Amino acid sequence: MNAYSKTPLLDTIRTPDDLRKLKVEQVRQVADELRQETIDAVSVTGGHFGAGLGVVELTTAIHYVFDTPRDRLIWDVGHQAYPHKILTGRRDRIRTLRTGGGLSGFTKRSESDYDPFGAAHSSTSISAGLGMAVARDLAGGKNNVIAVIGDGAMSAGMAYEAMNNAGAMNSRLIVILNDNDMSIAPPVGAMSAYLSRLYSGKTYRTLRDAAKQINKRLPKILANRANRVEEYSRGFMMDGGTLFEELGFYYVGPIDGHNLDHLLPVLKNVRDMETGPILVHVVTQKGKGYGPAEASADKYHAVVKFDVATGTQAKSKPNAPAYQNVFGQSLVKEAEKDDKIVAITAAMPSGTGVDIFNKAFPDRTFDVGIAEQHAVTFAAGLATEGYKPFCAIYSTFLQRGYDQIVHDVAIQNLPVRFAIDRAGLVGADGATHAGSFDNAYLGCLPNMVIMAAADESDLVHMVATQVAINDRPSALRYPRGEGRGIEMPDVGIPLEIGKGRMIRQGNKIALLSFGTRLAECEKAADELAAHGLSTSIADARFMKPLDTELVLKLARDHDVLITIEEGSVGGFGSHVAQFLTDQGVLDTGLVRFRTMVLPDVFQDHDTPAAMYGRAGLDAKGIVAKVFEALGKDVKTETVKLA
């Protein structure tokens, strides 16, 4: 053992089996060292931070008390699981978090047996845990299943659907509510207020204290009963129940999630209960144990690399505005002219730029919590009354509201405006957060207008275009990160619906881009020109309705036509192909047509540039696709067209 190590006890722990060999009085030291290691690791890697710090004691206690991985431990969302990863055989790789080939920033089944369920979207843990518990019961097993869910995730209906089902089935499932009074945004909704009242109410605390005093005077055999405190305190309470009990859960808590003298005995009692389901209400502090995080409004929810001593984050100055900020600022300008414009977000105000709108128009901003289904239908209701709702949701999260998009918006032809952030590959968050499928899942819907901004200037005009579309739903997609640093318009001017634009005119190769791959198309065209291939570039702007006149012209005037998009198969390229085949254009063999889409795999996390390179959607990949269409070797210096 290194005599100078800051983490001498943690250094002896490879897996939770090692942790469980320690004396109970040593667990506090493990937790303290685990917090130090988490801080040091994330200062190097960046990533989600505050939530992990808040569950250090809880993580240590769970692994000490329960027999993981035989007991199944599910972390809802999974962004708080860095301490869990350190304790479960992954400490030697913890500084590879969110980098190419490194550890995932979320739980991942293929990464470890200690991750029984992969998660990066919220509110799935209770459903998955119930499935595991029922599978155990069917197989005659005896292991525990523990789902740890935060109060931000409790704003989603799926958590209650699962609890309702679990309560009715009476299966032995343990749910730990990690109540840190925070989601990414300030807590919204009655649920957060309810929890706060429940554990801070004077009546409850007084009765609870009385129950504890009575408990001290009871014979030891009674005092050791697992449910002692809760039974007595409930006996004193007038209505005798909570929301969770009404759903069929045995409620334990609230308890201090940083006090191991409370946590360990309660978890042991819960472990040994033979009935279920059980909900343990644990109160924690996000960012606990690191001063700069505790002092920050968002408790350092997610960070880039930072200096441990000061907490200063090493964020480089962007040379161009972030797309989400361009969206927020553009929407504010439009809303200054139109008091019917309202903005809706599902617990991601800063991530979508809706926070900018909220500062200007707080009464016209609605954060509905992690409830995308509700957000979409709520927007539909606003639209029926003549308002102009902008529903700003990441592509990956909008998937969760798909039935509502179809049934409540599209079928009724309501002018809900979907602002789809994080379109395309997103880098360090990986496959769970990639905006890969919205072109495909929205493109098949009647009545939907679908746009993609090629740059930040285009985004300004497209926001204005959405404001003007008042007879049907519309979707506008744009990526994560900064724009190109080009000159920005003072005001947005609505675009002609379904019309693209020519960027560069050539006569041999045509590149038809949908979205921000346009910059890579321009690089590719320069290289193709060096090979003697005159290349046209067009920006489609609209996937639906398609600029059929532009598509036909490109197909008829060039030898090769290639579509490029930041989405899966079934999207823009498929719509162009459908049109060309219906028109018989491809029957003649005069144009060689290809589509470039994301590969038909879930790509692991890396930098966006590396991910697009592997996907073949960078300039190099576009040039290679052109040469492939020509039947030539990309390494050949000169090409003679057939």
Q: Which two tokens stand for residue 328?
A: 């927020």
Residue 351 and residue 25: Cα distance in Å, rounded?
42
Which residues, listed in sequence order, are joined to residue 562 by a DSSP beta bridge?
511, 594
Q: Which residues, in sequence order, are CB contacts of 369 under 8 Å at separation 6+?
A: 152, 155, 156, 183, 188, 189, 191, 346, 347
Give the dihedral sign, CA 250/253/258/263: negative
Give the single-character DSSP code of 76: S
Residue 10 and residue 16: Cα distance in Å, rounded?
11
| H-assigned helices in 287-353 | 291-295, 323-337, 349-352
**Mind telling me the catalytic residues?**
286, 372, 400
DSSP string, 396-408: HHHGGGHHHIIII
Residue 234 and residue 204: Cα distance in Å, rounded?
9
Residue 139 and residue 128: Cα distance in Å, rounded?
17
Q: State whether residue 521 is helix, strand or coil.
A: helix
Which residues, listed in sequence order, are joined to residue 365 by a DSSP beta bridge?
343
Contact present, 389 and 414 (Cβ < 8 Å): no
Q: Which two tokens stand for residue 213?
A: 């005093």
Q: Which residues, in sequence order, are CB contacts of 373 under 8 Å at separation 6+?
A: 157, 400, 401, 403, 404
Residue 197 and residue 195: Cα distance in Å, rounded?
5
What amino acid occupies position 146? I
